[in-house]
Structure 1
Amino acid sequence: MPSKIEIVALMGRENNPLFVEVYGPSSQSISSRDPKSLRYHFLAHISLDIFVAKLPQKTTDSDFGLLYVQDDIAMYGWMTNTGVKIVLGFASGDVVGNDIKSIFRAIQHAYISLVCNPFYNLDERKMITSKKFENSIKRIVEAWNGIPQA
């Protein structure tokens, strides 16, 4: 059985957080708007250093693979062709296979749908506040984690 997703983060072109949400067993006691979630923001920001280090070897819209393991969370990265970085944190017990690319593409598709919505005012300097986007990401994570859909 593959590892469960613990955290999903989208970081903007300027390395600012656009979306950071905690899932899995940890999320029962920690909301992303709770100061205790700073640990997860910290993990997402550490990923940016790895992106910078690997960037000369990679092209955009590519899988950066395993970035690092910290506090029993394995962080994986993907960069879109617009420079938005998608970071996924998995419980590091099991190895995550190639199926991870489908999650990155699904999250990228949800982000593209948000950006292309003419009624959503996207400010790349602020966090994403769309409930529809949050629900889309939640459905993707729950499908991966094996949580039945309501």
Structure 2
Amino acid sequence: MGSRVPSIACIGVIGKHNNPLHISLFPPEERAPLEFSFLLSSCLDIFEARLPHKTADQDFGLLQAVDERLAMYGWLTNTGVKFVIVVDMEGRQASVFETRSSASVGLRDADLKPAFRALQTAYIGLLRNPFYDPDDHSPVTANAEQRVGSTQITSRRFIREVKRIGDTWTPGIVNI
């Protein structure tokens, strides 16, 4: 059996009112969407518990280790939107380059910072779209009669960027 490297199993974007805005699975055909939806919901209390102790740093680091294989990491934007990345520690088959370059035993919080920065950049790009109104995606401000669309993010550009981030991230990558 060849060596394996950690990979992203799920990226979740959770609104400031703890409503799911977007969930991407990697690879989607091998993952159970409901399972990851529950996992993302389970980490919301951890954000709330750590929030009073956080200062200017947006990186919440390791939120929880689900089991020996899955670990959840979190990031909070200044607008209250949460990014959660679930890492599969046995993710995928390592390429020759990754086998030579990955001498690490585990995963450090800093390994995910490039992915979180790229997610934040993608989200800022979404917010700059004049046709995207974040309040339309909030269950608090959009009642059933006024709601035209879904509370989920439907921007193809944003979804494509999240997929790119999830597909290209590897431990030790500096820039995505």
Gaps of 5+ in 1: 31-35
TM-score, structure 2 length as denominator? 0.72
Please name the residue that 1:107 is paired with.
119
TM-score, structure 1 length as denominator? 0.83
Matches within 5 A, 1:1-150: 2-24=5-27, 27-30=28-31, 36-59=32-55, 62-71=58-67, 72-93=69-90, 95-97=106-108, 98-122=110-134, 123-125=136-138, 126-145=151-170
Alpha-carbon contact 1:61-1:80 (below 8 Å) kept:
no
CA distance in 2: counterparts of 1:95 and 1:11, whole angstroms? 27
CA distance in 1: counterparts of 2:38 and 2:5, whole angstroms? 24
Identity of aligned residues (%): 43
* Matched residue type, 1:141: G
CA displacement 1:87-113 (0-9 Å, x = unmatched):
000013563231311110100110110
Aligned residues between the structures: 139
**1:82 match: secondary structure:** coil
CA distance in 2: counterparts of 1:10 and 1:59, whole angstroms? 21
Which of structures 1 and 2 has the bigger CA Rg? Answer: 2
CA 82–121 in structure 1, closer or farther in 2 if over 3 Å, else same: closer
Bigger relative CO (Cα 8 Å, ≥ 6 apart): 2
RMSD: 2.0
Runs of 4+ off more than 3 Å: none
CA distance in 1: counterparts of 2:23 and 2:9, whole angstroms? 11
